[in-house]
Amino acid sequence: MECKYFGECGSCKLYDLSYTQQIEQKKEYIKELFSDFLIDDFEFFASNEEHYRNRAEFRIWHDGDEISYGMHKLKGKGVLKIDECPKVDEQIYALMPKLKKFLQNSDELREKLYGIEFLSSKNGMLVTLIYHKQIGQDWKKEARKIEEKFGIFVIGRAKKIKEVLSQDFVLESLQVEDKNYTYKIIEGGFSQPNRVTNEKMISWVSSHVKNTKDLLELYCGHGNFTIPLSGKFKKVLATEISKTSIKSAHFNCELNNIKNIKFLRMSVEELTSAMNKEREFNRLKEIDLDSFNFSHVLIDPPRAGIDAKSLEFINQFENIIYISCNPKTLKRDIDILNSDFKIVDFALFDQFVHTNHIESGVILKK
Ligand SMILES: C[S@@+](CC[C@H](N)C(=O)[O-])C[C@H]1O[C@@H](n2cnc3c(N)ncnc32)[C@H](O)[C@@H]1O
């Protein structure tokens, strides 16, 4: 990928390495970090080098009546004005200059516009305009023109305000091991940023799932893994803290006609204490936790990793699949599990080319 802002824009840090060198650097880092486990090689699932991000956020910089997209600078404070970003997918890339021009020409849409979020899918695009002012009927009237002109969905956000003009989601389709799945992705919930790498990641997990009974999934989001994996298990119990994501997850079961998943809107810590019979929850009234016979646990926590008590809890199961966006907390957690488990497979999935970010997948067996 070539970008005219390499060396200035804080988003890409590995701009002076070729993609092959970046892959080698990431592999070497992981080999060294996990050297105690004697992992000498692993699969590396590469990304498209450019136009790979289907989710992106930009600041809006104002110079009088002129606006520009902005990114934080690589060095020093302040915002770097940009007019394009080759990392975003083709749909976002094509829309960015046209949308800027449109916003530029409308006082109502431009004034106090602070940021823009793009969420694109194979089936459409949602744009969220974030303001440092109140927005109401006048704003809605102008914003509708964006929907009409560009055929996209628009949301306006301001303090305590969320104005949804038509819909607050996009429908995404993913291919996992020769099958297609449809997902509703609601604005504001977590979603994987790199569609192609995400498909590889779910397919890799799915290919490792054998001899199954029931699945326990922690940090399930909108069912990104849950939906395709459900076909391989008798029953699935999946938990997630975000209301928005769980709303999508329920919808995604219906969209894909899946009947064997129970989604819970609960933190992992709460579910662990319920499973350990330390606390009772109204939200679990309808669910007989003892009726599950889990052969596999899948976890995909945020950067902080899983809490110590929940890690101890999942230690009792035969198979653990750990997806991690932070190698350091992954290492911390695997060190604890290590005495009872062996690493069956380890893979890296590139979500963000030109950055130091590393996404790992580990299959652990008792
Ligand atoms: C890395 S994302 C993974 C989501 C999903 N597996 C996916 O692939 O889209 C982590 C998810 O964990 C959720 N989360 C964060 N802390 C949590 C907690 N303590 N208990 C349950 N879910 C949590 C977040 O809302 C987010 O959806």
Is there a contact between 47 and 351 (Cβ–Cβ < 8 Å)?
Answer: yes
Choose among 118, 103, 185: nearest CA to 155: 118
325 an active-site residue?
yes
Residue with tokens 């306006």: 156
CATH level 3 topology of 192-365: Rossmann fold (3.40.50)
Cα(153) to centroid(ligand 1), Å: 25
359 an active-site residue?
yes
Residue 41, pLDDT score: 74
Is there a contact between 344 and 363 (Cβ–Cβ < 8 Å)?
Answer: yes
pTM of the model: 0.96
Distances (CA, A) of 79 to 99, 192, 353: 20, 26, 22
Residue with tokens 């029953």: 235
- Helices 90-104 and 137-150: crossing angle, nearest 10°? 140
Ligand 1 binding pocket (C-beta < 6 A) is 190-192, 219-221, 224-225, 239-242, 245, 267-269, 300, 302, 325
Q: Give, using CA atoms, the residue closest to atom 26 of ligand 1.
A: 221
Residue 140, pLDDT score: 98
Cα(288) to centroid(ligand 1), Å: 23
What phi-psi label fits residue 354: left (phi over 0), alpha (psi between -120 and 50 degrees) or beta?
left
Q: 124-131 and 294-299 as β-strands: parallel, antiparallel, unpaired?
A: unpaired
- Rounded distance, CA 187 to CA 68, Å? 23
Choose among 50, 125, 60: nearest CA to 88: 50
Cα(133) to centroid(ligand 1), Å: 31
Domain coordinates in residue numbering, the chain? 55-169, 192-365
193: its two tokens: 């940023």
Q: Write out residues in the chain with pLDDT < 70, as ranges.
A: none
Residue 110, pLDDT score: 98
Give me the architecture of the 55-169 domain, per CATH: Beta Barrel (2.40)
